[in-house]
Amino acid sequence: MKLNNKIIAALISLGLLLTVSARSQEVLDGIAATVDDQIILISEVQSQLQLLAVELKLDISNDAYADSLMREILEQMIDDKLILIEAEKDTTIEITGREIEDALNGHIERIKQQFPSEEVFLAQLSAEGLTLKELRSRYKDEVRNQLYKEQFLNKSLSAVSISSGEVKQFHSEFADSLPKRPAGVQLAHILIATAPSQATRDSLLAYTKLILAKAKAGEDFALLAKAYSGDGSASKGGDLGWFKRGDMVADFENAVFDLTPGDISDIVETQFGFHIIKCLDKQETRAKASHILIKFEPMEADIQRSKQLSDSLYKSLKDGADFTEMVPEFSNDESSSQNDGLLGWYAANDLSKEFVEGIRGLNPGEYSKPVLSQFGYHILKVLGIKSSRPLDFKDDYNDIEAIAKRHKTQKELENWLNEARDRYFIEIKL
């Protein structure tokens, strides 16, 4: 069944060249190109054209225009095939099952976020004749291939360096077309975290003990994970797949490798929460496990307590209290609390919506009302404001250098692709 525009638009957010329809066809259609021993189907190119048209709102009713776009898309798909072929030949690149699952989970979550709720997302999938499991299965190979290509490109291009002379020449040549320095703001903050209190942690621990008792009594572990776990693996019965030593946080990993296949751990605490782990299989350097995670999430009383404290601190600041004296005493941000709460300069368009709203209309030296984020309540102090301006070679050298390096890296990639095209058999039939 063909996906409609709502799902297509969401899938574009994966940032992948997804073969939407070709993999589900039972009969092969026409071949657009052959790259080494791999083929690209016409239907795959057509799917990419459809995705591009939805994303950029293009009118592809004109056949000549559509054919031109398809040829451009095919060239990009050939490049992608070449990169993947080389990446799979590189024995130093290792992609674990856990990495693939994590990346796939992340992509699926980003798709979900484009819908008003998970229920709406699942309803849309159902309307298209798909289940979440089928969607994951359809795109797992694409996510895996994307990880291989990213690692290969990072490895191949990380050695690219650029001299000061090259930066100067680049700036001289492209100064008029370089992006402007965006408007920015320098901020400091006091963070009152909404972390769970000790009482909440004790309550979560008692709750985890009840679930552990069920697991130890022989209740189905996968069903318990689906019912109680707060991890993304819950939908798979807590199954984390195979992972190597070093892939997981130390306490979790040590617990897994201490278990015999089939055994269930006692409660294991990590920074993520309380885990109950079942070892499914184990070898010398890798293991397969399932787990139930009870996350360290604050309760409403914890959130209200943090809000009351932040409101009180804000009032004190408005009454003339010293911000720099408050920071080390109250702020829960360890990275900034020893430096007067300094967060640094931010481009205005890089700030979260909450921060933008919080500092709107403020002048340097003024404070925001408490702003809630995923970390807690922030009292923001505006230290400085900069307007948008052209990049200056002296003042913005590091930024110009980064842009020049990206430009050089792109050229290196184009050269590599041209050489790869000479090394492999490529036949274009479109």
pLDDT exceeds 50 at position 196: yes
User: What tokens appear for 124 in the block?
Assistant: 């849309």
pLDDT exceeds 90 at position 190: yes
> Average model confidence (pLDDT) for the chain?
87
What percentage of the chain carries pLDDT values higher than 90?
54
Task: Please state the pTM of the whole predicted model.
Answer: 0.51
* 276, containing H or E segment: strand 273-282
CATH code of the domain made up of 5-159: 1.10.4030.10
- What is the rounded distance in angstroms from the CA atom of residue 291 to the CA atom of residue 289? 7
Which residues make Cβ contacts (< 8 Å) with residue 257, sequence separation at least 6?
Answer: 245, 282, 287
pLDDT tens by residue, 10-50: 544 444 434 443 333 434 468 999 999 899 999 888 888 88
Per-residue confidence (pLDDT) for residue 56, from 0 to 100: 76
Q: Determine the average pLDDT of the residues in 379-394.
A: 93
**Is residue 106 within 8 Å of 252, Cβ to Cβ?**
no
pLDDT category, 109, cuts 50, 70, 90? confident
- What is the rounded distance in angstroms from the CA atom of residue 108 to the CA atom of residue 427? 35
Per-residue confidence (pLDDT) for residue 127, from 0 to 100: 76
Which residue type, as a one-letter code, is found at position 100? I
Shortest CA distance to 73 belongs to which of 98, 48, 109, 100?
A: 48
Does CATH place domain 198-295 in 3.30.930.10? no
The answer to whether 184-195+299-386 and 198-295 have equal CATH topology is: yes
pLDDT exceeds 80 at position 124: no
Q: How many Cα atoms occupy the beta-carbon half-sphere of 427 within 13 Å? A: 8
Shortest CA distance to 178 belongs to which of 415, 411, 407, 408?
A: 407
- What is the rounded distance in angstroms from the CA atom of residue 270 to the CA atom of residue 194? 18
Per-residue confidence (pLDDT) for residue 29, from 0 to 100: 67
Per-residue confidence (pLDDT) for residue 243, from 0 to 100: 87
Shortest CA distance to 209 belongs to which of 267, 145, 139?
A: 267
Per-residue confidence (pLDDT) for residue 157, from 0 to 100: 79
CATH class of 184-195+299-386: alpha beta
What percentage of the chain carries pLDDT values higher than 70?
93
pLDDT tens by residue, 126-143: 877 778 888 888 788 888
Domain boundaries, the chain: 5-159, 164-180+390-423, 184-195+299-386, 198-295
> Cα-Cα-Cα-Cα dihedral of 65, 71, 75, 78, to 10°?
130
Per-residue confidence (pLDDT) for residue 276, from 0 to 100: 97
- What is the rounded distance in angstroms from the CA atom of residue 24 to the CA atom of residue 9? 19
Distance (Å) of CA 187 to CA 3, 64, 355: 45, 52, 10
pLDDT category, 328, cuts 50, 70, 90? very high
Number of Cβ atoms within 10 Å of the Cβ of 312:
13
Q: Determine the average pLDDT of the residues in 259-287.
A: 93
**Is residue 35 within 8 Å of 424, Cβ to Cβ?**
yes
pLDDT tens by residue, 331-366: 999 889 989 999 999 988 889 899 999 999 999 999
Number of Cβ atoms within 10 Å of the Cβ of 422:
8
Shortest CA distance to 8 belongs to which of 49, 41, 66?
A: 49
pLDDT exceeds 50 at position 100: yes
**Is residue 118 within 8 Å of 154, Cβ to Cβ?**
no
Per-residue confidence (pLDDT) for residue 10, from 0 to 100: 52
Strand order in the sheet with 273-282: 239-244, 286-295, 273-282, 268-270
